[in-house]
Structure 1
């Protein structure tokens, strides 16, 4: 049995939190921009911190596991 929880959580969060793909915080002209496909250094840092915090929350605090047999 393999634990697929970490793989699923990290891939989903990576896709959802890629700056400029779905949303970007901070945006270039507004606080939040949606689907602009552009990024900045501040957005990369903020999205990286959000990614790290959510991965820690799901994998360490909640102990999310998926087992496929």
Structure 2
């Protein structure tokens, strides 16, 4: 059996934390902007740190597993 939990969590978090797609922290004019489809270097760094922290929590602490087959 293959464990698809880490792959699923990585893809979902990548989609949700893409800067400018759903939200952007920090925004260009406000601290949080929603759906502006723009990005900056600072927001890329913040979203990268959020992604790393959340992927570590879900994979190491919560131990998300998804077995198919």
TM superposition score category, shorter chain reference:
over 0.9
Q: What is the total number of aligned residue pairs between the two structures?
A: 69
- Once the two structures are TM-superposed, the CA of residue 13 in structure 1 deviates from its matched residue by 0.2
Please provide the CA RMSD for this pair: 0.4
- Once the two structures are TM-superposed, the CA of residue 8 in structure 1 deviates from its matched residue by 0.4
C-alpha distance in structure 2 between counterparts of 1:37 and 1:68, whole Å:
35
Question: Where does residue 16 of structure 2 map in the other structure?
Answer: 16
Unaligned runs of 5+ in 2: none
**Large movers: runs of 4+ above 6 Å:** none
| TM-score normalised according to structure 1 size | 0.99
| TM-score normalised according to structure 2 size | 0.99
Secondary structure of the structure 1 residue equivalent to 2:37: coil
Question: Where does residue 56 of structure 2 map in the other structure?
Answer: 56
Does 2:35 correspond to 1:35? Answer: yes
C-alpha distance in structure 1 between counterparts of 2:54 and 2:9, whole Å:
9
